[in-house]
Structure 1
Amino acid sequence: MYPEYPPDLNDEQKEYLLFNLKDWSIAHGLAVRPTPTYVPTEQDPSAALATTAPVTLFPSLFPRVCFGQAASVVNAYNELYSAIASDEAWLKDIVEELTEIDDFMANLWKVHMEVKKEGYAHTLNLGLFRSDYMVHVDPSEPKPLVKQVEFNTIASSFGGLSSQVTGMHRYLRSVDAYPESMANIVTESSLPPSTSVPGLARGMAKAHEAYGKSGSGSPTCVLFLVQDMERNVFDQRHVEYALNENHGVRTFRLPFSRVLKDTKVDGERNLIYMPPQTPQKQYEVTVVYLRAGYSPSEYEDQTAWDARLQIERSKAIKCPSVLLQLAGTKKVQQVLATPHSPHLKRFLPDEKQAADVLKTFAPIYPMDKSEAGMGARKLATDPETANRYVMKPQREGGGNNVYRKAIPDTLKNLPESQWPAYILMEMIEPPEQSNVIFRNGELQKGGVICELGMYGACLWRQGQHDGEREVLENFDAGYLLRTKGDSSEEGGVAAGFGAVDSACLVDV
């Protein structure tokens, strides 16, 4: 489907390209903290070093029609998931199927129920979403389509680095780091810039503004809730700096483990942040942006759940709230995408919007004892048919899925009572293409698979009755392209599987 790409480089061309790539990436913060396997901890005990983030040498080819299709449904997906998170009764039926077999889901639901009993202190909700797609080539279709891999409602990462990598590829083109043979493919118009940094920052700024005046009399701030040992810090910093410099919003980074030490909820349920470096100066938190708290491993004991409850019961706008995090589970995706499902039109009454979103769904089935679930179990336990599927748990962050022929053996070793915690999804079949990935100082050349993420921002006010809401802001917020070797099933960059990339749009 694609032209011969990328071209081979001789030693001088390769040296020149890498020289420029390494310098530009560090100068522009296209970077991560190195892994201990790359730079041993004893050589960098204070975590002062940075290295180029895993990137592709060349922008990857991507069908222009598919990029346009993914961009056209961003607002509809924002609408869809804000509606789902606002309909507690519908979500309750979905989540309660999981709470009996998944302790993490059960504990999240418990946090919501505790706050509901007390009454939510704020009606505003912020979603910074990322919908991930792959190009799917179906011989029966006249053109390729994008099919959704998953929808992320929490910690939708790499918006910061995405804006940088498109800039890097544009720069490499401008300094003749690419051979002449690429001139007609990689052009100014074929490299769309990603607006993810200003888009995500704008979403938080709109929520900060909507929060209104401080109720405690203290100055206000936005909190970035982060993991304790965060290697992907620069990705977050780009958004943080844009929020501060372009919108005048004070930001702080708060490790998840310090929530109970450095914050408190006052009598009016304002969330008060007490910076450990200046504890006498307190701030009222308008927005908590969660880049932590999405994985069960982060909740090692009850204090972590107490910390999440403290944030949830406060007046601060949560991005996301517990309900919005639960709306992003694979089970919800499955319920929407199961063939002939009636649920999509419940949340998207606009027929064209619903039809456009439906086109992006790959077939997904439950693994429970329903009629569809029993059919899926038959597919998953047969090695021949399982080869066309991926089995996914209700987890974020990469490295959790089971692919193809590994599915039957995994199910053999998994109690049948646990099977409903998974969904079965038909594999998306992308076109063949090649690229070169630069990771930890080494080049990896070969076949690759690309995954396009479309960011969206949505701010809404919950109505008085379940299912009611008023959408205040709804806009697209840039894109991300992640690329992995075609021998790797997983695509997470932070999990060690993929690289950040940019799209070179081509007509196919």
Structure 2
Amino acid sequence: MMEVNKEEDIRLGLHRSDYMLDSGTNSLLQIELNTISSSFPGLSSLVSELHRTLLNRHGKVLGLDSKRIPQNWAATQFAEALSMAWTEFNNKSAVIMMVVQPEERNMYDQYWLINHLKESHGVKTIRKTLAQVEAEGQVLPDGTPVVDGQTVSVVYFRAGYSPNDYPSEAEWRARLLMEQSSAIKCPSISYHLVGTKKIQQELAKPNILERFLNNKEDIAKLRKCFAGLWSLDNEEIVKTAIEKPDLFVLKPQREGGGNNIYGYDLRETLVRLQKEQGEALAAYILMQRIFPRASLTHLVQGGVCFEDRTISELGIFGAYLRNKDKVVLNNQCGYLMRTKVSSSNEGGVAAGFAVLDSILLTDE
């Protein structure tokens, strides 16, 4: 796509920026920024409403006020952003195509976006796997994408972020076909790559944010949220990480949870990568490990209620839509709260490490 220098006049981003509250600095530090398949706007909205309803009924007994759980409109606002992109494409007969995994486990989260698009905006959505896009899709001479006989205005990726999503060349051909089309991609391949750990690490370098922002106060606020991030060509940091692996996380350029490396495995991996050098080093970044304060929490698993120490991760949803130089939409769209036992290194809900939760605001 770089070789053909294809222009993308309309850009749509549905993001989620994830944070943890570091107990040492009492600051929210960014874990990562998701630019593809930012999941759980649908189910997190329902969970927040569930908790508000429970506190309305039982809050007085517990001494808790339901109004302290912020309203969470992530599902409706993501659907609105998708419908606005559909409008910018300017073809009322076109559909939005959601690209999903063959054995999709997160379909009910996705369903709420589809439901809001139909009920609130009158926009039809189709669901296709990458293999189905390759088999049923084509790009007309004018760039119009057609899949299963239907014109596609917006391609919304809820798959395509993992190597497992590309088991054959057919899936790669599908991705290329969509990139070559005039459809609005959420995200386009370049926008997808912006969400990699490597770009996150590059943005944390001195004088880089100044290329994109002029306001010194905004730059300072952003930097305050950055945890320590380093490439593996920093020999001093790598040496420190080998000596004190519990203070770091080793992150590959992967999405979807379950890929990060900790502790003894981190040390062993760094020692091996130092021997390999070259591209092997570039496949990872080192990140400062964040240590949030743990709280005793009631959990239910398999119908059994028990107590355990837990930590939480906050995700802030955001939507961005631009048509050439005109910014159509740039909004915060709600939140995702995930809670997991403190002994778990990973935090993915679909991967089975965490549960959906809600924010409860306090005066502390």
Q: What is the CA distance between 1:189 and its match in structure 2?
A: 2.3
Residue identity in the other structure for 1:265:
V
In the alignment, does 2:325 pair up with 1:325?
A: no
In the alignment, does 2:362 pair up with 1:473?
A: no
| TM-score normalised by L of structure 1 | 0.69
Q: What is the CA distance between 1:501 and its match in structure 2?
A: 0.4
Q: Which residue of 2 aligns with 1:426?
A: 288
In the alignment, does 2:279 pair up with 1:393?
A: no
Q: What is the CA distance between 1:115 and its match in structure 2?
A: 4.6
Q: Which residue of 2 aligns with 1:406?
A: 265
Q: Distance in 2 between matches of 1:288 and 1:310?
A: 11
Q: What is the CA distance between 1:166 and its match in structure 2?
A: 0.6
Q: Distance in 1 between matches of 2:245 and 2:301?
A: 32
Q: Distance in 2 between matches of 1:305 and 1:441?
A: 42
Higher RCO (Cα < 8 Å, 6 or more apart): 1
Q: SS state of the match for residue 471, structure 1?
A: strand
Asked whether the 8 Å contact 2:74–2:317 carries over to 1, the reply is yes
- CA shift in 2, pair 1:134/1:123, >3 Å: same
Q: Which residue of 1 aligns with 2:38?
A: 156
CA deviations 1:423-465 (Å, max 9, x no partner) are 1111112112122333454445311110000000001134xxx
- CA shift in 2, pair 1:424/1:444, >3 Å: farther
Question: Which of residues 67, 71, 85 in structure 2 aligns to 1:193?
Answer: 71
Give unpaired runs (5+ residues) of structure 1. 1-111, 275-281, 463-468
Q: Which residue of 2 aligns with 1:288?
A: 155
In the alignment, does 2:208 pair up with 1:343?
A: yes
Q: Distance in 1 between matches of 2:283 and 2:306?
A: 35
| TM-score normalised by L of structure 2 | 0.95
- CA shift in 2, pair 1:190/1:265, >3 Å: same
Give unpaired runs (5+ residues) of structure 2. none
CA deviations 1:247-288 (Å, max 9, x no partner) are 1111111122211122211111101121xxxxxxx3211100
Q: What is the CA distance between 1:351 and its match in structure 2?
A: 2.1
Q: Distance in 1 between matches of 2:291 and 2:356?
A: 21
Q: Distance in 1 between matches of 2:31 and 2:357?
A: 17
In the alignment, does 2:277 pair up with 1:416?
A: yes
Larger Rg: 1
Question: Which of residues 16, 22, 26 in structure 2 aligns to 1:136?
Answer: 22
Q: Distance in 1 between matches of 2:191 and 2:292?
A: 30
Q: Which residue of 2 aligns with 1:459?
A: 321
Q: SS state of the match for residue 103, structure 2?
A: coil
Length, aligned pairs only: 361
Q: Which residue of 1 aligns with 2:29?
A: 147
In the alignment, does 2:226 pair up with 1:361?
A: yes
Asked whether the 8 Å contact 1:115–1:312 carries over to 2, the reply is no
More strand per residue? 2
CA deviations 1:228-251 (Å, max 9, x no partner) are 101111000001110111111111
Q: Distance in 1 between matches of 2:4 and 2:144?
A: 14
Q: Which residue of 1 aligns with 2:341?
A: 485
RMSD: 1.7
